[in-house]
Amino acid sequence: MTRAARRRWPVAAGAAVLLFAALAALLAGQDWAPFGFERSANDWSAAHRPGAARAVAVVITDLGSGVVPYLLALAAGAVTVRAMPVPLSPRRAVPAFLAPLLWLVAGQLVRLGLMYAFERPRPPRVNWACDASGYSFPSGHSFTSAVCAGLLAMAVVRAHPAAARPAVAGAAVFAALVGLSRIYLGVHWPLDVLGGWLLGCAWLAVATAVLPPVRRAALPPGDGEPGGSSEV
């Protein structure tokens, strides 16, 4: 990780945690009941859900659960390992490959703990367009999609800095679509999705300090860096 990233990650993580805590406190202040705009969004989605749109939303929402997020986390590990300047021994390659996956699993445990601690009820079942389980806040699909896509984007950015913009944009679009599909399908209130995104951002910010860095080969003097290897 670069020196700049070392300075930024505590600020980013702290900001996301504070916003998440403020949102949770706001909802707890009214006993986890939905705000008026949340009820309106849930009613609107139930009234504007033709068959084709529902089918597309179900396909999108399924990307935020099941095997897909864990495959994306493994892809992040593969990118990290392949970007190393020299082949790693199995003893070092396996932990680097599995680190993003384990970070996602650890995040799921944190998210589940918070969900069962808060116990926010889901929207009325009559408005659901797909199955759902557990409590509502924070949204598991929103958190999971943000973290798995973010881990892959982070690995790509570290390995290929020139691809930073498309990688980050792709991760943001993926997380946004999955989160919004949860609202459209009627199984989450809007603030559940926002909470999932905020918690995911905090988890990703900490990941920049925890996950293995990509170490690039040393550059000859005069080739743009002051010698030695660099790590991202």
Cα–chain-centroid distance for residue 100?
12
Give the C-alpha distances (Å, rounded to integers) separating 75 from 78, 142, 149, 168: 5, 19, 10, 15
Query: Which is the catalytic residue, given 122, 141, 158, 182?
Result: 141
User: Angle at Cα 96 formed by Cα 220 and Cα 85, nearest 5°?
Assistant: 20
Query: Which is the catalytic residue, given 61, 188, 202, 212?
Result: 188
Q: Which sign does the torsion angle of CA 195, 200, 205, 207 carry?
A: positive
* CB distance 193 to 142 below 8 Å: yes
Helix (H) and strand (E) counts for the chain?
8, 2
Enumerate the β-bridge partners of residue 231.
215
Answer yes or no: 188 catalytic.
yes
Answer yes or no: 160 catalytic.
no
Known catalytic residues are 141, 188
